[in-house]
A and B are shown apart, each in its own frame.
Chain A
Amino acid sequence: MHPYALQGKTILVTGASSGLGRQIAISCSRMGARLVVTGRDGTRLADTVAALTGDAHRSHVADLTVASEREALVDEAAQVDGVVHAAGVQRLAPAKLMSERILRSVLEINLVAPMMLTQRLLHQNAVATGGSIIFLSSTAAMSGTPGLSPYSASKAALHGFMRSLAVEVAKRRMRVNCIVPSAVETPMWDPGHLEAQRARHPLGLGTPDDIANAAIFLLSDASRWITGTELVMDGGIVLVS
């Protein structure tokens, strides 16, 4: 067995009903993992489950902004070796026009939900020793992206949480990292935005497969000494006029 295999590992993936979360779940199953997938939409979550390789996978419909639903998910997950926080939203909101409602909603989904889900998992000792926790971030966390300030702020805050957490859980050899992609073709982004981004990427836009491969690496024992890292995957993004 090579060091990137996920045989014998149970992985919890949030936001698994579409986009990156869905592909991460599918790819992890193909590497031998047992999945616990969660998302808000039961029908689309069932589609993801149907696309998984192997059996013994579990799915649990939940809105992770609701504390009781997080609790129910933690009970369902029981014991996992890896967690991938892929659930997230993006709202176009130039700062001058940003409403408090939009800001709070983005922070609830992208920041508070993954932080508190992690808190509950750790409190219930639901993450195994040597486990790996991954937050799906974005290059918007580190670079100025007009019109995306609530999204950028939520992702930058995740990096702050990731670093503190990495130091706190190292005693149990648990690892915590961010995957930091730029524009990947997923339903979260509008086609106009993706087209504008294409010119900035020497290797073109990314695919969900690329991000899923990074997740496999960070979940596997191959990365047992990697923690507190931002794995930037951005096709070599450059500035263009």
Chain B
Amino acid sequence: MSFNPFTLEGRRVLVTGASSGIGRQIAIHCAKMGATVVLTGRNAARLEETRSQLADAEHLVIVADLVEPDAIEQVAGLAGPVDGVVHVAGIAKLVPFRMISPKHLDEVLGVNLRAPLLLTRALLARRAIQPGGSIVFIGSVASEIGPVATAAYAASKAGLLGAVRALAQEVAKQRIRANVVAPGYVRTPLVEELGTAGGKMNELFDLAPLGLGEPEDVANAVGFLLSEASRWMTRTLFVVDGGFTVRLSV
């Protein structure tokens, strides 16, 4: 079928956190829809594993820890020019509020908020995001529901939305778009780790009317936001959560 507004043919998409979970699936999805993918992450072996799952094309792997300023410059320099950026790299740790320390806040906010904003800045400074490009930040419904012991994580994800509201206005002239996708609980290594760290995850999964999500479910929504089909969407919070937040007034 020739009519397909969701195609990513001829586009180049940078995906951070591409070594596992949602990031890996987004890379696979983008390649399947025709894009060339620039994969970045900290773990070289797992990044290569993602790379090996992509359909043939000139995909590029850059091993980098985006907390390091040099690494941000390196990725921004090698990746561009891109038509899409998907900020997936993130960490989550269960820490009760009265235990949060400067170190914990710096770590979570550094990876989840500071790095994606500075990487975006570095790309924009190089004009490495093409006119008509799409920037997607992976947020979380945690910013809306604030689960117990996730203050830093929820704050980092809420911070992304505030930044996107401003960023999207500033780049609209070049028809660049910026949106946040907020997933609910998805079957990923990150969520599995929270389970083994003592989180009562199964009870949480059951709270979503459609249960636990799969990485594909998030990748399909991100694919929509990267494509021309969502040409008129910017500055939005797009909740993809199996109905988790329907019963809350968020």
- Interface of A toward B, CB cutoff 8 Å: 2-5, 27, 30-32, 53, 163, 166-167, 170, 173, 175, 202-203, 206-207, 209-210, 213-214, 216-217, 222-238
Q: How far is the CA of A228 from the CA of B184 in the complex (A)?
A: 12
Residues of chain B within 8 A of A232, CB atoms compared: 233, 236-238
A sample of 8 more A-B contacts (CB under 8 A), given A229-B240, A236-B234, is A31-B1, A214-B229, A214-B233, A225-B214, A226-B241, A228-B246, A231-B238, A234-B236
Q: A203-B177, A226-B221 are in contact. Are A4 and B6 (CB under 8 A)?
A: yes
Q: How far is the CB of A240 from chain B (nearest CB, A)?
A: 11
Which of B54-62, B109-117, B168-176 lines the interface with chain A?
B168-176
Residues of chain B within 8 A of A222, CB atoms compared: 6, 220-221, 223-224
Q: How far is the CB of B231 from chain A (nearest CB, A)?
A: 6
Q: How far is the CB of B183 from chain A (nearest CB, A)?
A: 9
Number of residue pairs A-B, CB distance < 8 angstroms: 130
Q: How far is the CA of A232 from the CA of B232 in the complex (A)?
A: 10
Q: How far is the CB of A173 from chain B (nearest CB, A)?
A: 7
Q: How large is the interface on B (under 10, 10 to 19, 20 to 34, 35 or more residues)?
A: 35 or more
The 3 closest A-B pairs by CB, nearest first: A228-B246, A170-B209, A202-B172
Q: Is B96 an interface residue (CB 8 A)?
A: no
- Interface of B toward A, CB cutoff 8 Å: 1, 3-6, 32-33, 168-169, 172-173, 175, 177, 209-210, 213-214, 216-217, 220-221, 223-224, 228-243, 245-247
Residues of chain B within 8 A of A210, CB atoms compared: 230-233
Contact B220 A202 (CB under 8 A): no
Contact A2 B231 (CB under 8 A): no
Contact A2 B168 (CB under 8 A): no
Task: Give the most central of A170, A209, A224, A229: most B CB within 10 Å.
Answer: A229
Q: A170-B209, A222-B221 are in contact. Are A207 and B232 (CB under 8 A)?
A: yes
* 6 A–B contacts, CB within 8 A, in A order: A4-B4, A5-B1, A166-B246, A167-B209, A229-B238, A236-B168
Closest A residue by C-beta to B34: A2
Q: How far is the CB of A232 from chain B (nearest CB, A)?
A: 5
Q: How far is the CA of A227 from the CA of B208 in the complex (A)?
A: 10
Contact B246 A223 (CB under 8 A): no
Q: How far is the CA of A27 from the CA of B242 in the complex (A)?
A: 26
Closest B residue by C-beta to A182: B232
Residues of chain B within 8 A of A167, CB atoms compared: 209, 243, 246-247
Q: How far is the CA of A73 from the CA of B224 in the complex (A)?
A: 32
Contact B169 A238 (CB under 8 A): yes
Q: How far is the CA of A173 from the CA of B208 in the complex (A)?
A: 12
Q: How far is the CA of A173 from the CA of B210 in the complex (A)?
A: 7
Residues of chain A within 8 A of B168, CB atoms compared: 202, 236
Q: How far is the CB of B6 from chain A (nearest CB, A)?
A: 4
Residues of chain B within 8 A of A206, CB atoms compared: 232
Closest A residue by C-beta to B186: A225
Closest A residue by C-beta to B178: A236
Q: A227-B243, A228-B245, A228-B246 are in contact. Are A236 and B169 (CB under 8 A)?
A: yes
Q: How far is the CA of A5 from the CA of B32 in the complex (A)?
A: 14
Among A31, A230, A233, the residue within 8 A (CB) of B233 is A233
Residues of chain B within 8 A of A30, CB atoms compared: 1, 3
Contact B246 A225 (CB under 8 A): no
Contact B232 A233 (CB under 8 A): yes
Q: How far is the CA of A53 from the CA of B82 in the complex (A)?
A: 34
Closest A residue by C-beta to B1: A32
